[in-house]
Structure 1
Amino acid sequence: MVRNNEQTNDNPPLDRWRVDEVLEPDRNLWGLPEIAQVAGVSVDTVRRWYQKTDAPISKPGGRYFSTRAALKSWLCAR
């Protein structure tokens, strides 16, 4: 029920991660913590993916790197 010019909104609020995904789908992810946070796994899991799988994670200059779009695509294909 709508009261006193209140509008109902059936959409969930946008949190920081959903907004980033919409506005910056190809955002660069630098470092194990950032990659792990986007993937929803631990830092150790990301390190293991880098060593033992075809995950789209590289290590240019000694620092772990991926893009949000490539990582999400790889995760969805698994």
Structure 2
Amino acid sequence: MDEIKITEANLPVERIWGLPDIAAFLDVSVDTARRWSRKPGVPIYRCGGRYYAFRSELWRWHRSKAA
């Protein structure tokens, strides 16, 4: 099976709603995603008590964190 290379260019610009989906995208626990959301510079936002993030921003931030 061919490996698909994920780049910012082929990520859809869409919101991810809710900590469970954000955590799944980042491959971390919900508790970790919640803890990260409180840190400055982490692109996880709250609106009306609900968490959301933009897929491309999360991907970019996660890549820079791993580098």
Report the TM-score when normalising by structure 1.
Answer: 0.68
CA RMSD, aligned part only? 2.2
Q: Which moved more, 1:63-72 or 1:50-59?
A: 50-59
Identity value in percent: 41
Deviation at 1:59, TM superposition (A): 0.3
Runs of at least 5 residues in structure 1 that lack an aligned partner in the other structure: 1-9
Q: Deviations over 1:19-39 (max 9, x none)?
A: xxx4x5212100000000111
SS at match of 1:72: helix
The alignment of Structure 1 onto Structure 2 pairs a total of residues equal to: 62
The residue that corresponds to 1:11 in the other structure is 2
In 1, the alpha carbon distance for the partners of 2:40 and 2:32 equals: 11
Runs of at least 5 residues in structure 2 that lack an aligned partner in the other structure: none
Report the TM-score when normalising by structure 2.
Answer: 0.78
The residue that corresponds to 1:4 in the other structure is none
**Higher Cα Rg, which structure:** 1
The residue that corresponds to 1:69 in the other structure is 56
SS at match of 2:48: helix
Flag as ranges the 4+ runs of structure 1 deviating above 6 A. Answer: none
* Structure ranking higher in strand proportion: 2
Paired amino acid for 1:46? A
Larger RCO: Structure 1 or Structure 2 (Cα < 8 Å, ≥ 6 residues apart)?
Answer: 2
Is 2:47 the counterpart of 1:52?
no
